[in-house]
Structure 1
Amino acid sequence: MSDGQGNPLPSSERSRPAGGSGGRGRQSQGQHDGRSPRDRGGKPQRDAGLARNARPVQYGTIANLKEGFGFIQPMHMSGESIGEPLGDHVFFHFSSLASRDPPRRGDEVSFESDIDQRTGRQAARKVDVVPQGTIPRPPPPQEVEAKAAIEREPRGRNAEGQLVLLSRDGTRSAVRLPFEQREVERGVTLQSGDIVGCLLVGAEGRQKVRRVALVERGGGLPVERGLVVTVKDRYGFIRSEAFAGELFFHFSELPRGADVAPGACVEFRRSTDARSNKEAAVGICLLPKGAVQLEDIGDETFEGVVTRAVTPQAFSDGSAPRLLTRGEKVALGGMVKLVREGEDAAGSGDGG
């Protein structure tokens, strides 16, 4: 190397970089020149936008993986919720991985969480795969057997119903829980008012209803009393003590081996038949004769005169035996005129 005039330069001069003495013309190693990694020809550093303050190490599982990035589900590491999900998924970029080997979905990882200064969102850095079992498993859920009354039956295969838990004495509690049709025993169609047994899974306040089984049809409904007024082949009708009209019942709701006839006193519950969507009597129990009075009968006695006799032909139409309605009594029954004290019953004449 020469000085431009053909004279060789000293070795000390030849070793200097062009542009100044002592190497000042070249950027020293490790010194930032104000350019971004992309401008200098290197790969962008994804963690460069995250705050560099030390953050506590968290643990979670890989919930989802995409092309070059993924999401972590943080997990509780202690307390009552140990081993359960903690908050929302946290984003991470593959450049934040501590290892070159990409993680797999379900892997347990440790990481630090910070706010990405560019996006303003939470992101994970220093993501490292840890041995399976590092995250503790949650304890097995509590399981409690319970009785409940159906308040709203599920209508459809994927529908949801609602039940109210019963106390030990059978009264309704304030706890109402949803349940799914798939948890109901196969072949059973539940109705409002049914008593069921079920399994409550999970901690109180977060319980799920499982294995719903019918215990008593309509057992959670108010009890009514009435008289059997009509009996057919396998069904009949009851007149309620408290409500007007007649209520259908099927013999399957009677006690096993029971035989009923018009005039029988019964106790029952009113429910809606799932097939006909009409009200029907369920859970029928027989009561002693005279236990039900549809009309008030006093102890005072009177004297009177029959003004219209009952004609047997009026009831020989071949229909099944039954009790008459009030209108039928007026139209077809006999009539008696009361005799006041001091009047002559024989001379009282006809009347209504």
Structure 2
Amino acid sequence: MTSVPSELYQHNYNQFSSTSMKNLDNTEEIISNKTQRELGIIEKLCSTYGFVYCCHRDGRYFFHFSEYKNDITQAKIGDVVEFEIIIDKRKQKPVAINIIPVSSEIIGENRVEGTIAVVARQQLLNNGFDEINFIPDGKVTYVKKGETYFLPYDITDLQDSSISIKVGDQVTFNVGQDRRTNQFFARNIELIKNINSPIATIKRYRGVISTMKDSFGFIEREDALKEIFFHITEFGPNIATNIIQPGVEVEFDIQDRHNKEVAINIVILPKGTVQFDEIDKTPYIGRILQTLQNKPKKSNETLTGRLLYDTIDNKMSELSFGERDRCGLYTLLENDIVQFVIAKDKRDGMMRATQISLLDQSFLKSKEHREMSITICDEENNLQRPDRLITKLKSINFDENKRQKLIIVRQPRNADEKSKGFTSIRIERAPGVLIKNQQ
């Protein structure tokens, strides 16, 4: 809830306020006034006249400088003013008179106790006057008469900006209302209890960024078998956006927004900190039963491959595996002989094969046709390849210090009716020489 009870306010506001909060709640008294004061913003200033835009109704009114009750030379575009509206007898058009500059915000005197819900990171840019529609990214929450309220705040609302505040910190503040938009804010925030005290502790969560799109993404949680949404601004202003990529390990808090959990106060962790699995280091030998599927039947199905292996008690057992469980980017085919270890997911206890490597026995037993060649790198003159291979080969980086062989595997018959030619690629170390053209 974002509305604020009127009892939070005192009724003695600054001298420019023409109507008290009590009168704002009394519609009959407003209607009975012969001349109602309007709130507006100076929109344009010319040589001897200007225009004001009404904040609470769709209207733009002409005014003469003689109607401005303060020093007109001090007036500027964007200033908040109060004025009356009359009909010009000559032109029969409404004009603004009795114009008085006023404060754009009303701040109550009562101090309210609350809790930091979202730490403010964005600061209002001062470009001459306040932006009317600017809503700070910080949030303070408090409870009044059984109802929970959320008020926005920015960095400048902290009484002591040198003190670092965190989600869950207890604070006191004044409630302010922007008279132009009727939006409420938390002002003059003072810290009274830090979450680092023994009384208040908040659990931190860890995970790995799984997907990114534009300015938001999802984190795969370490404690639960599900993902959580995050916005890139939760990393803070000191983190370069190009660092925030899938695979990055993070620590974060969880907040409920609109009945959905989101990750906040995100911190990047060293690689290897987050562990989803308990890995048995014992190596096993197995045979591929089902290859990885490019388009699984279910969108959330990631472990589409299956292999068969001998257990310790000489029983045949099956394990699933996914795209990230291979040690290399080579294609695994049916009946390939592989070596692997067994991983157990700490979240749900599910077993799978991981660290899968292709063994030489696969090529000894397989009848697939293989081609071997020496790779030559020429930086200036690119070698002409057959048209049928140029769009099928993947981009591969070879290490000049390692001897490698490239094996191109022909597409199995009826594996994919729409695909023909050479699609499967395997790379493994083998005796040979990598030649580079010296300039």
What TM-score does the superposition give when structure 2 sets the normalisation length? 0.28
Which protein is bigger by CA-based radius of gyration? Answer: 1
Structure with higher strand content:
2
What TM-score does the superposition give when structure 1 sets the normalisation length? 0.34
